Amino acid sequence: MSFKNLVGQNELRSLLFSALTENKLSHSVLLTGPSGSGKKSWGRALSMAVLCSCRVAGEPCMECISCRSFLNGNHPDFFELSPDGRNIKIDQIRSLRQKFYLQGSKKVCMINQAEVMTAEASSSLLKLLEDPPDDLHFILLARQPRLLFDTIVSRCQRYVLKPLDCSDITRLLLDKKQLSEEKASLVARISGGLPGYAFELADDEHFEGRFEEVKTLAYNLATGCDSAQQLLSWARYLSDREDLTIFLELLGMIYRDGMIQNLCVDKSMNWLADIDSVSLEDSVMLINSVIYELNNTNVNRRLLLEKLLVLLQRRFSKCQKSSGFGSSRLEKPIILNPV
């Protein structure tokens, strides 16, 4: 894995190249970003570049013994720590300490999910960072750097991975996953700019079926097809799904697309044409607030979904009464049974 294989992050790339070229890379580097942002890929690329004996302008040469060993997964001077269970424990740090002091070439230790180190492991690492062996580099990867000791963070050069542009994710999916342009674009839009999450969605064999269900529910809510009992059935059905967050993100995306289409293009081909843009915007905000509650609180999922579906249908029904949409809508799609 070299920098050439990584997409986007131009600012990060420039900063790392500058530090490598000018020999100003710290003995300890902290890479932060949300889950799925590519921290591990960038950490490995940086590790490979540090260990390369013939790098050019920050890029590893890919041909020296060091690079070939790294690519083969057996580099003797690259050490990688990951959580043992839920935490990184002090014994994991201790088991590597003696290897760090061996004479020889540069060494790199990459620590995945560094924020889950126990207090004892953090203290042991801090001692190493305070007086690091010659030619030893630590690369810490963390999703929540605030959970690290402040004294550890203060001794690191910190770099932040930002979400990628939708076009970058789409290009990455087309290159790596051989998806159709339509699916690559759809996955990219709901990935939030996170390549790891995009790859996970691309490999999901249930993605197409899930999207068809989402379109059915979106249509039913907008046109008032479902009775109150059917809405409760939808809520019960969705509350048990592990992919509920993805489902709701897709639902919000459909209404957001409808809002944009109503504002920007001919409405004649849009089955959401008679729903005013304000109502569609409100629906998207409501869905987003529910996603936040699901991910950050211990809320009753079923009750929250019942409230969401009732509020959405009630909001759309006001538009139907004023526009006559209920009697003039386009042909209704096949309705899937949620129960």
CA 55 to chain centre: 30
Q: What is the average per-residue pLDDT within 70-83?
A: 89
Interval 189-233: pLDDT, tens:
888 888 888 888 888 888 888 888 888 898 888 888 888 888 899
For 337, phi then psi, to 5°, come to -90, 115
Which residues have a Cβ under 8 Å from the Cβ of 197 and sit 6 or more positions away?
35, 36, 191
Is the Cβ–Cβ distance between 151 and 120 less than 8 Å? no
Whole-number percent of the chain with pLDDT over 90: 26
Which pLDDT score, from 0 to 100, does residue 266 have? 59
Instruction: Judge whether residue 110 has pLDDT over 50.
Output: yes
Please state, as a whole number, how many other Cβ atoms lie within 10 Å of the Cβ of residue 295.
10
Q: Mind giving me the DSSP string for 24-38?
A: ---SEEEEE--TTSS
Which pLDDT score, from 0 to 100, does residue 322 have? 47
- pTM: predicted TM-score of the whole model, two decimal places: 0.75
Between these two residues, 234 and 339, which has the higher pLDDT value? 234
Is the Cβ–Cβ distance between 224 and 236 less than 8 Å? no
Which pLDDT score, from 0 to 100, does residue 95 have? 85
Fold of the CATH domain 3-160: Rossmann fold (3.40.50)
Residues 156-183: b if buried by 16+ CB within 10 A, e if exposed: beebebebbebebbbbbbbeeeebeeeb
Which pLDDT score, from 0 to 100, does residue 329 have? 41
Q: Which amino acid is it at 10?
A: N
Fold of the CATH domain 204-328: Zinc Finger, Delta Prime; domain 3 (1.20.272)
Which pLDDT score, from 0 to 100, does residue 174 have? 86
Q: Which amino acid is it at 12?
A: L
Q: Per-residue confidence at 320, pLDDT binned at 50, 70, 90? A: low
Report the alpha-carbon distance of residue 318 to residue 279 in Å, rounded.
9
Instruction: Judge whether residue 332 has pLDDT over 60.
Output: no
Interval 14-69: pLDDT, tens:
898 888 888 888 899 999 998 888 899 999 999 999 988 888 878 888 888 888 88
**CATH 1.20.272.10 residue window(s) in the chain:** 204-328
Is the Cβ–Cβ distance between 275 and 316 less than 8 Å? yes
Q: Which of 59-63, 233-237, 329-333 has the lowest mean pLDDT?
A: 329-333
Nearest residue to 282 (alpha-carbon basis) of 316, 331, 246, 321: 316
Q: Mind giving me the DSSP string for 266-316?
A: -GGG-TTTTS-HHHHHHHHHHHHHHHHHHHHS---HHHHHHHHHHHHHHHH
